[in-house]
Amino acid sequence: MLDQTSVTAYGHLINGETIDRATAGGIDVLDPSTGKVFARIPRGGAAEVDRAIDAARSAFEGEWGAKSALERGRILMKISALIIENFEELAALESRDTGKPMKQARADITATARYFEYYGSAADKHHGETIPYSKGMTVLALRVPHGVTAHIIPWNYPSQIYGRSVGGALAAGNACVVKPAEDACLTPLRISELALEAGLPAGALNVVCGLGTEAGAALAAHPGINHISFTGSPQTGTAVAKAAAENHVQVTLELGGKSPQVIFADADLDEALPVIVNAIIQNAGQTCAAGSRVLIERSIYDEVLARLSERFSALKVGAGVDDLDCGPIISAKQLERVTSLVDAALADGAKVVASASMAENAPEGGFFYPPMLLDGAAPESRIGQDEVFGPVLAAFPFDDEKDAIRIANATPYGLTASVWTRDGGRQMRCANAIEAGQVFVNNYGAGGGIELPFGGMKRSGYGREKAFEGMISFTTIKTVVLKHG
């Protein structure tokens, strides 16, 4: 059970050992539901990153690299089983660290276990090709691991994003160095300990704690890594890609979004509206794939707004442990960002149509922001363009299919979208025309879906994670040309 009163000291996990437990100094980890410190992590930098990369290289060239695909897969399956065995402990830790309601934390841990199961079972089913080149020759296109892979993780879904990223990389045979976010990194640390228990050789998976500008920047710029998987903000993504370019290292960038939820007049509203609300309140809107814009056909605009409004007004906000509709924002800094973007929207002419209320027992000092529905903003205003990363849904009317597609595509982002209509032709036309890495028709995944290739178009990033596609990203092709006559 998680200690609710004292401050727990965590360390880095390097070469199979927990080191530098942050008893004093280090970085305070706050419970977003109360604003109180409950853990402390060490503030790693270039020295710890060096050690972690050395350990990963040794594992890759040693015991881990010598494992067969089947052996790697079995270890990943065991990690998955250990996550399930420690399910409630991990869910409580994730909820405390991020503030997310327990049901969301449980869903996240379930998904994390699924990533290890999925990639564990994929490890020995992933192979290259032979190429009919010329008579007397056989050409093999082998799928080989990159070597040492770096994984820079954000705070919003620490366990899930860690699972999807290191799951694919380990299954493909890489050794990993993870830099989780300073605001929430405890489940990646704990699951990495479980991975050792599952039989993962020391050094195959290392976790360095610390600030992005120190440990993160040192990792991104390190000449000893062969691939970077980065999930986070577009600004940091640019910095990471620039650092990687210096070493000619390939990067996968999973950045933000401003995902449109498009509702046509023929949609089944009873089905659509609960999903649309959930797509923005899930994880207090701190989801890269949050459905933060709802585009509504003008003929049903007032009706949909009234029905959404009822739903927003009924929502309750409180501590993660109380498991209500919505938990807190991750930090005071992020709360300030959400508040200032909404203030700017109101100054630009937007109006608050409805907002949720705080639970009576919500703790003092938590970073709460009640979910809010806004109307009256122009699609080109900041609230129509910028990622809020909070539970704020902006509504916009449209005239017809062409207009809907125009507004849907009129942001720099292209991560995910949903289209709600019973018209089969329109479903496919919209899916084709909307610029997004994932388009959902009459449903919305809001980031879920282990088996579904995921990633952005435009400024939402490049490369794909999740699914088989994610594992392919963690390999490269080596072509072997055999002349045998």
Which residues here bind ligand NAD, judged by CB under 6 A? Answer: 152-156, 161, 179-182, 212-213, 216-217, 220, 231-233, 236, 239-240, 254-256, 288, 387, 389, 415, 461
Residue 367 CB, nearest distance to ligand NAD (Å)? 14
Residue 247 CB, nearest distance to ligand NAD (Å)? 14
- Exposure string of 440-462, with b = 16+ CB inside 10 Å and e = fewer, is bbeebebbbbbeebbbbbbbbbb
Tokens found for residue 55: 């350990």
Q: Which residue is nearest to ligand NAD (CB)?
A: 212
For residues 34 and 126, the answer to whether their CB atoms sit within 8 Å is no
- Give the nearer residue to ligand NAD in terms of CB position, either 4 or 213: 213
Tokens found for residue 233: 């903000």
- Give the nearer residue to ligand NAD in terms of CB position, either 187 or 421: 187
Residue 374 CB, nearest distance to ligand NAD (Å)? 19
As beta bridge partners, residue 293 has 260, 394
- Residues with Cβ within 8 Å of 5's Cβ and at least 6 positions away in sequence, in order, are none
- Give the nearer residue to ligand NAD in terms of CB position, either 45 or 65: 45
Name the residue among 193, 141, 190, 178 with its Cα closest to residue 55.
Answer: 178
Name the residue among 52, 168, 221 with its Cα closest to residue 453.
Answer: 168
Q: Where are the beta strands (DSSP E) in 266-423?
A: 293-297, 316-317, 351-355, 357-358, 372-375, 392-398, 413-414, 416-420
Name the residue among 128, 118, 170 with its Cα closest to residue 476.
Answer: 128
For residues 263 and 80, the answer to whether their CB atoms sit within 8 Å is no
Alpha-helix residue ranges (DSSP H) falling in 172-268: 186-197, 217-220, 234-246
- Give the nearer residue to ligand NAD in terms of CB position, either 337 or 426: 337
Residue 245 CB, nearest distance to ligand NAD (Å)? 13
As beta bridge partners, residue 152 has 179, 230
Task: Give the residue numbers marked as catalytic.
Answer: 254
Residue 402 CB, nearest distance to ligand NAD (Å)? 28
- Give the nearer residue to ligand NAD in terms of CB position, either 31 or 254: 254
Amino acid at 307: R
- Residues with Cβ within 8 Å of 235's Cβ and at least 6 positions away in sequence, in order, are none
- Give the nearer residue to ligand NAD in terms of CB position, either 108 or 182: 182
- Give the nearer residue to ligand NAD in terms of CB position, either 203 or 461: 461
Distance CA 97, CA 94 (A): 5
Q: Cβ of 322: how many Cβ atoms within 10 Å?
A: 16
Residue 400 CB, nearest distance to ligand NAD (Å)? 30
Residue 461 CB, nearest distance to ligand NAD (Å)? 6
Name the residue among 334, 401, 343 with its Cα closest to residue 183.
Answer: 334
Residue 225 CB, nearest distance to ligand NAD (Å)? 12
Alpha-helix residue ranges (DSSP H) falling in 67-215: 69-85, 87-98, 102-122, 158-171, 186-197
Distance CA 440, CA 436 (A): 10
- Give the nearer residue to ligand NAD in terms of CB position, either 145 or 390: 390
